[in-house]
Amino acid sequence: MRVDDIFPSKYATGADLQNKAVTVVIDKAQPEKMRPSPGAQEEQKWVLYVAGGKKGIVLSRTLARQIASATGEQDTDKWAGKRVVLFPEPMVVCGKPRIAIRARAAANGNGQAS
């Protein structure tokens, strides 16, 4: 059994996208308190939730800006109901390979759920 199956993460990673782009409808974005690593001080981060999703997605500055651009909304309170495409992007962070989640506009271009 995979370790990730034994100890599932509360938050999604790029690997959860299984090398595929997916179109999603945003449910909400909200602040949550979390510990970035064991023993670290608790801090507040913003988390994106999508309709039908099982895990939240921790927003980075880059991802938040991409979603704002894709939806045409700078206000996270206005993201609910908007469609975006989430896709994996391989990168190296602190010398380690990672798969980030990135966003772009949905095919219809207006970000509205159909």
Could you read off the pLDDT of 7-45 as tens digits, one per residue?
Answer: 888 899 999 999 999 999 999 999 999 987 888 999 999
Residue 112 lies in a domain: no
| Residue 6 maps to a domain | no
What does the alpha-carbon distance between residue 32 and residue 78 come to, in Å, rounded to a whole number?
18
Q: Determine, yes or no, domain membership for 78.
A: yes
Would 20 be classed as within a structural domain? yes
Q: Is residue 5 situated within a structural domain?
A: no
Does the pLDDT value for residue 112 go beyond 80? no
How many separate domains does the chain show? 1
- Domain assignment present for residue 22? The answer is yes
Distance of CA 29 to the CA centre of its chain: 10
Confidence of residue 110 (pLDDT cuts 50, 70, 90): low
d(CA 77, CA 27): 10
Q: Which domain holds residue 88?
A: 11-34+43-105
- Please indicate, yes or no, if residue 2 is contained in any of the structural domains: no
